[in-house]
Every structure is written in structure tokens, then in C-alpha cells.
Amino acid sequence: MKRSSSLFFILIAAFGFLVSSLTLYFMLDLEDTKRQSLLREISLELKDAIILELDKSETILKGIRGFFHSSDLVTRQEFQLFCENFIDNDFPLLLIEWQPKVQHSQVQEYEQRAQREGVENFKFFELDKEGREVPAKKRDFHFPVYYSYSPGDFPRALGLDLAFSPLRMESKYQSMKLGKAISSGSFEVILKDTELRELGFAITFPIFNDATISSSQSLEHLKGFLAIVLYLKEFFEPIEQIKALGDFAFEVRDAGDNNKVLYRSLNYEEAPKDYMVKTSVDAGERTWNVALIPTKEFLSEQSTIFPFVIWSLMILLSFGMAYYLYLKAANQEKINSYQKQLQQKQKLESMGVLASGIAHEFNNILHCIRLAGDTLDDKNSPEMEKEARETILDYCKRGRNLVREILSFSRQDSGSKEEFCPVEEVKKTVDLMRSTLGKDIAIHLHIEEKLPLLHMNRNHLSQILINLCNNSAHAMDNKGTIEVSLMSQSKDNHQEFCLLEVKDKGHGIATDIQDKIFDPFFTTKPVNEGTGLGLSVIYGIVKSYKGNIEFESVEGKGSIFKVILPYPSSVAASDDE
């Protein structure tokens, strides 16, 4: 196997590996795209769930606002009763506060009313820097926690004047100006029934004196604020229980508070962060950044070995194909080598037959010359001497012609191809065969004189004819007539070819062996009388010129062998096709 051929098969295998790897890359990329698409869908569901919970809080505040608009004065008991009936027990509420706008001149009036409603020692107060309660300072407007509702026994800061904290009032004034619910940042609140503190947040909603007013730039029309306070943990836990989020972890951060972490699901720390999908939620004029992360279990379920199976199969197929082509080329190389060896052996066999025939012919010539020479003595008449001399000269000329035919045949190049007229070559070969096959074999030649040129090795045409004539002579036990024909014929598609026929009336070929006669080393001749290479070599030669060999044989009646050789124009046309 040549090095260039081996390199070709290596390139085939490398190309197959490259195509397989690209296929694997695109399949994995497609799988990743589907995974990312699913993550985006789940992140939208998570976003919608958060917005839905926020909307529930806003709905509660709007309902209480409608209650306040329905009455000029809402008592503490009415506020408590309405909240108990209006708010669902499953809602994660910490508390709801009513924070009225109170002018400083009204402080005493509000304190006394609260005391009459059962709130003992109710006073307006604020917190100092150490967090201690101190009397509320004088200011134009106070915003005390006046009413407070909580489903549990949560400590309530009744009387706390929120106006003391500009930071708290900032979100309230914003809700007043926009006329909508505003979320605060996170802050620590006391856990129910404990002294522990947990992160929570508040949603503030404005109430105006006139129900037709939806927003205001000043405090003139403001009646007060409703505030709902929620634990962040209790707010997000119901969201975490959504079935679609079962295989996902998520984290929520407050973009307006230095991206502070508001909540992390229980499985967040264990989830790989390679496939994080981020989105944002508008939470009452604050932006919450939400990150969704698939769990290891989800990635394990979504990842399949199918791309790697396809990749492995393509690798095996490409390497298998390269190996198959390599073996096929190697086998073809061996077959070509064997065919050359067979042709060489057959040539030697043919040369042996020729040599035997030539020796027999020369022996006859020399015998005749010797007999004629024996008559050249003094006892013979001049006429007999003249006849003997003429006989000697005649047989010398016959020997000279035989030598010329042998030299002409032997000088042909076994490897060269040329364009030549098959008529002259067939005539020359037939003349030679007549000399070698003996006087008991007659060869009748039927030739179409004007034939197109063939492009092949001259010796191959002679070799084909010699082998077929030898086989015919053997089939007739070296007695009989061989019909040799050379002509042009056309196929159905009007394509012309050269037809060489050799016909005999020998014993024919048995039906049960007709499919084996072109097999190498198959012969019906006795041992040491034939190699079984003649027809197989002829078959190889004919096929090498894109020709064909056919035969018809009837046992006991003879055989016809037809050798079909294409003209150069026909070969070029078939190559183009």
C-alpha cells in the first residue's frame, strides 16, 4: 500500500471524526438551547408568582381604602372587624396599620379618643438614636400608628409617630404623589411570640379625603396611609412550593438597597450556578432582581447520553468506512498483483505451446531439407537434383518466414498501449497459429476489412486469440476446423464495439461447470496438461479494457466465445457518463 493511499484513508477517518465532533457540538448546543428556553419559561412563572403575591397585598390595601372612603369616621373596632373578615387566613400577613395625617393641634384629641376606645396610656411617641421611646416632637403633621391589625399576638407600636423618620416618610410621600402602592426596603421585625428578629418589608398605600382623588402633590387632600407589613420568608415560602419550581432554586435581591439579599430558597446553596437565569420584578417602584437556578437533579434529568451515542456511532462508522476502504484497496492491489502473475504464467504457458508448435514446424522443415539433401548424390538424374535443390530452397524460405513471424510477435511491448488496426494483428496471429497447431487443425478467418482502430496492447489481442484457439483445438482433440471472425457491431444505444468470435465443433462445456470456467486454476485438462489460467487471464485482460467476454456452448456440439472490445470513442463516452 502506497504512503499516499494510507494518508488518504487517514484523512477520511479524520474528516469523519471532525464531522462527528461538529455533530456532537451542535446537538449539545441544541440541548443547551432547549434547557435555557425551559429556564426562561420557569423564570417567567416565578416572576408572575411574585407579582401575584404583591398584587394580593395591593388588593387588600385597596379593599381597606374603599372601606375608609365609605365612612367619614372608621372606628378601631370597625377596622379590626373588617380586616378579620376581609383578609384570608392563608395570607402571610404580619400586620396592617392605619397611619392618619394628624395636625399637631389634633394630637391631644387623637390620644384621648384612643384611650376611650380601650388603648390605655396611648401617647404619640418616637424613637431616639438608642431606640428608646420618647415623646413625639412638635411638627406640622404627625403620622402615628393609630390602628393596627395582626392575625396573631404580634407586638404593635401603637402611637409611634413615623414622621420622626425622613427615610420612612420618603416612601410614603412617593406613594401619595404616584397614588399607588409603594414597597419599602427590607428591615428587621420581631418574630411572632419571640424576641427574635426577621427580615420583613412594608407596602404603603395612600388614602385621600375624596375618593375621586387618585394622587396628590401636597398633604392638603391626604387623609393618611395604610401600611401592610410582611415577613419576607412567609411571603416567598408559598412561591417556593409551586410545583413548577420543584426542580429549581431561586434568589431575590433588592436592587435599590445595594442588591441586598431578600430571600433564598432552601436548596439554593447546593444548586450549581452555571445555568443561572436572571430576571427582574417591579415591586412597588422597587426593583427586585430574581435569579433562577436549576438543581443538580433537574440537570441530570435534562441531560441525555443520546448526543454521545450518536457521536460514538458516527466515529465508529467513519473509522469503519475508512478501514473498509483501506482493506478494499489493499485487496484490490493484491488482486491486481495476482492478475499480473496469472497473466505472466499464462504467457509462459502460451509460449510453451508456441515453442512446441514452432519446434514441431522446424522439425518438419529440417526433415524435409534432410530428405531433399539425401537425393543430392551422383546417382540421381539432373532433374531430380534440380527438384531437390528447389525443395531445399522452398523449405528454407518457409523457415525464414516462420522466424520472421516469431520475431514480429516477440518484439511487441507487453506493457504499452497504442492505436492499431485489429485486422492485421488478427491475421498475423492466425498465420502463426496455423503454423503451431498442426495440419489437422484448419482455421477459417472471416474479417470485416475496414474496422476502426483499437487502443490497447497488441500482445493482449494476440494473447486472447491464441488462448481461445488453443482451447478450441483441445476441445476438438486437435482435429477439426476453428472459425475466427472479426467485425464491428452496435449495441442498443448505437455504441459501436469490436467483436472477436472463436467457434469450434468440439465436445463443448458441461452445463454444471459453465459458471466456473473463468475461475483461476479451473481446468478440465488432465494433470500437467494445463494450468487453468487461460480463460481467467483472458477475462482479466478484457475487463481491464472495459470490455466483456461471452460464450455459448452445447455439450457435444461445440462452443462460441465472443470477445467484445470497445473502441476508444466508446470508452471516453462511458467515462463521461
Task: Write out pLDDT tens, residues 89-120.
Answer: 777 777 899 999 999 999 999 999 999 988 88
> Residue 445 — pLDDT band, cuts 50, 70, 90?
very high
Of 109 and 439, the structure prediction assigns the larger pLDDT to 109
Number of H helices, E strands in the chain: 12, 21
Task: Write out pLDDT tens, residues 119-148.
Answer: 888 999 998 888 788 999 999 999 999 999
User: Which of 325-334, 356-365, 465-474, 483-492 is predicted least confidently?
Assistant: 356-365
Q: Which of 477, 483, 494, 504 is nearest to 567 (CA)?
A: 494
| Longest Cα–Cα distance in the chain | 187
Shared fold status for 74-237 and 330-576: no
The amino acid at residue 268 is Y
The amino acid at residue 445 is L
Rounded CA gap, 378 and 320, in Å?
A: 89
Percent of the chain clearing pLDDT 90 (strictly above): 24
| Mean pLDDT in residue range 493-522 | 85
| Mean pLDDT in residue range 168-179 | 87
| Mean pLDDT in residue range 543-550 | 90
State the DSSP code for 104: G
CATH of 74-237, one of 3.40.640.10, 3.30.450.350, 3.40.630.10, 1.20.120.420: 3.30.450.350
Q: Is 536 within 8 Å of 520 (Cβ atoms)?
A: yes
Give the CA distances from residue 482 to residues 19, 237, 510, in Å, rounded to whole numbers and listed in that order. Answer: 62, 107, 20
Domain range summary for the chain, segments of one domain joined by +: 74-237, 330-576
Give the CA distances from residue 257 to residues 184, 200, 270, 286, 364, in Å, rounded to whole numbers and listed in that order. Answer: 10, 14, 26, 9, 126
Task: Write out pLDDT tens, residues 213-234.
Answer: 888 888 888 999 999 988 888 8
* CATH 3.30.420.40 corresponds to the domain 330-576: no
Residue 471 has a CB neighbour count (10 Å cut-off) of 23
| Mean pLDDT in residue range 298-317 | 71
- Tell me how far apart the terminal alpha carbons of the chain are, to the nearest angstrom: 29
260: helix, coil or strand?
strand
Rounded CA gap, 150 and 31, in Å?
A: 50
Instruction: Say what the pLDDT of residue 412 is.
Output: 45
> Residue 373 — pLDDT band, cuts 50, 70, 90?
confident
Residues linked to residue 204 through DSSP beta bridges, in sequence order? 182, 227
Residues linked to residue 503 through DSSP beta bridges, in sequence order? 483, 560
Instruction: Say what the pLDDT of residue 414 is.
Output: 47
Task: Write out pLDDT tens, residues 375-428.
Answer: 676 566 777 777 777 778 877 876 776 676 566 445 544 457 889 999 999 998
| Mean pLDDT in residue range 345-350 | 64
